[in-house]
Chains A and B, each alone.
Chain A
Amino acid sequence: MAHYTELNIGPIHPAVHGILKFKVKLQEEIIEDVEITLGFLHRNAEKICELNYYADNMVYFDRMDYIDAMNMELGYLTAVEKLMDMEVPERAQWIRMIMAELNRLAARLVGLGAFGLDMGMLTPFFHCFIEREKIQKIFVEASGGRQEVNYMSIGGVYQDFNDQIINDIREFLKEFKPYLEDIYGMFMHSEIFWQRNDGIGILEPDVALDYGVTGPLLRGSGIAYDVRKDAPYLFYDKVNFNIPISHKKDNMGRFILKVEEMRQSIRIIEQSIDKIPDGPYFNNKAKKSMMLRLKGDGEVFSRVESENGEFGVYVRGNGTFKPWRVHVRSPAFKNISVVPVMAKGMMIADLIVIIGSVDTVIGEIDR
């Protein structure tokens, strides 16, 4: 006769990366079933977006995937600018691209650090945060905000790049490249890391597609899907980079893939920093003064590649100053739903590693 144990993990637990509740059904140490409870960070961003003017909503998008704020802003702006037929100057687009990639690096660093913490590796966490601090300093130099930057606006970016910022980014990249290899080495030469990740958390590609999983999780299952390649936005079609995929399907493959993606991000920044043209950084049509009162009409669905995958924003306007409906296709929401499949039949200790590998951000799941 089967004897089950029920175990609650969360909502406040260091391993769940935020506030999530996992109700695990265990047979001895083997996971039979995982039930996920969401909603502890439901901040009704979609409702508030309907009550605000178009440009004011940037504040709420910043705080969705709070470690990847630039990409969130970008997702909303690509949608709203299409809705308003607003053109963005070339300089602003290059700046946006650099910032988005820098933020992807920063977000990955948090993810890697926390992933190490899940396995009791304290050292990489500190090294990751040292590097992240440098990225945030660049953000402060550019925008004035450390994490929730509020840097982009409809029609461009709020403040222009100056020579110092460009120099700082160049310097940072020079330092960061060997540092990244060191952080990578800290993980990869550790036996414990291998033993806890090799062959754990296997996700078959057909299951991944069925659940609508995107991002590193999907690429880790061997499907080369990246919005930057699939439907290039900004100038992603003008720079050279690779989309890494892995057919290993497990945590280990995903980890190596994430680090490889960081190297590709560095490549993108290096190429685009030389290409920034002179010119305006803000569309004159939306120039300061009353720019935040712009009308939008029609409907639009736009998607960008955030750190967790395909971040889609659906905006419906009705010809007034406020959006009628804003809906977010949250990648982390889809990614977390696949955890029960990945964890089934594994040991309870593996669940923690799997959650760390999926690397969700709760602010984006619950919104």
Chain B
Amino acid sequence: MKNGDLGIKTTTIEKALEWGSANSLWPLTMGLACCAIEMMATQAADLDIARFGSEIFRNSPRQSDLMIVAGTTTKRMAPRVKRVYEEMPYPKYVIAMGVCVIQGGPYVDGYSVVMGVDKVVPVDVYIPGCPPSPQALTYGIMTLQKKIKHETDR
């Protein structure tokens, strides 16, 4: 359920919902390639993203509301990414991590890589870098939280 779909004009409740969903983003392990290792490093002790309410990486799309697409999405993988995205319950958010999923990255010359995962699923936050450091990923998650709370637009 996106903002404004409630039917009744109850801004306080919407604010509370936004606050709730922003601070309990449960990511899905969508580790496709190199960035997955940095995603694991973000989850690990050094830069524990549990501090942001992203407590654990869920392995089931039904239990998660944030999909971090970490790594190159190939053409063969794209339909599967889409299917997993469709299986996630609303409200759902997507983070594109790494340049491969932003615009194809180093594989722009190739034949089997999707030039940007936003052609497959709608993306909320893009994190450039190859691969982005765990700090950069954490900043991306903070950007998403701000976006959910309508605090940022860049």
Q: Is the CB of A43 within 8 A of B46?
A: no
Say whether A355 faces chain B, with CB atoms less than 8 Å apart.
Answer: no
**Within residues 6 to 34 of chain A, which ones have a CB less than 8 A from any CB in chain B?**
11-14, 18-19
Count contacts on B: residues with CB < 8 A to the other chain: 32
Say whether A63 faces chain B, with CB atoms less than 8 Å apart.
Answer: yes
**Within residues 77 to 105 of chain B, which ones have a CB less than 8 A from any CB in chain A?**
77, 80, 84
Enumerate chain B residues within 8 angstroms of A60, measured Cβ to Cβ: 106
Bound: A125/B41 CA distance, A: 10
User: Whose C-beta in chain B lies nearest to the C-beta of A67?
Assistant: B37
Say whether B151 faces chain A, with CB atoms less than 8 Å apart.
Answer: no
Among A48, A129, A136, which residue has its beta carbon within 8 angstroms of that of B40? A129
> Residues of A with Cβ closer than 8 Å to B?
11-14, 18-19, 39-44, 47-48, 51-52, 59-60, 63, 66-67, 110, 113, 125-127, 129-130, 132-133, 136, 146-148, 362-363
The total number of A-B Cβ pairs within 8 Å is 94
Bound: A113/B77 CA distance, A: 26
Q: Is the CB of A125 within 8 A of B77?
A: no
Bound: A81/B72 CA distance, A: 29
Bound: A147/B39 CA distance, A: 12
Q: Is the CB of B44 within 8 A of A130?
A: yes
Can you give 22 A-B contacts (C-beta < 8 A)?
A40-B74, A40-B76, A40-B80, A41-B71, A41-B74, A41-B77, A42-B74, A43-B72, A43-B74, A43-B107, A51-B109, A60-B106, A66-B33, A66-B37, A67-B37, A110-B40, A126-B44, A129-B45, A130-B46, A133-B46, A146-B133, A148-B131
Among A14, A59, A147, which residue has its beta carbon within 8 angstroms of that of B131? A147
B130 to chain A, nearest CB (A): 6
Say whether B30 faces chain A, with CB atoms less than 8 Å apart.
Answer: yes
Over the window 10-39 of chain B, the binary record of Cβ atoms lying under 8 Å from chain A Cβ atoms (1 yes, 0 no) is 000000000000000000011111101110
Q: Is the CB of A47 within 8 A of B45?
A: no
Q: Is the CB of A48 within 8 A of B59?
A: no
Enumerate chain B residues within 8 angstroms of A129, measured Cβ to Cβ: 40-41, 44-46
Say whether B3 faces chain A, with CB atoms less than 8 Å apart.
Answer: no
Q: Is the CB of B41 within 8 A of A132?
A: yes
Enumerate chain A residues within 8 angstroms of B80, measured Cβ to Cβ: 11-12, 40
A138 to chain B, nearest CB (A): 14
Enumerate chain B residues within 8 angstroms of A146, measured Cβ to Cβ: 38, 131, 133
Bound: A142/B49 CA distance, A: 27
Given contacts A147-B34, A148-B34, list 14 more A-B pairs with CB under 8 A. Answer: A40-B77, A42-B76, A43-B74, A43-B112, A44-B107, A47-B110, A59-B106, A66-B37, A126-B45, A129-B41, A146-B133, A147-B131, A148-B130, A148-B131
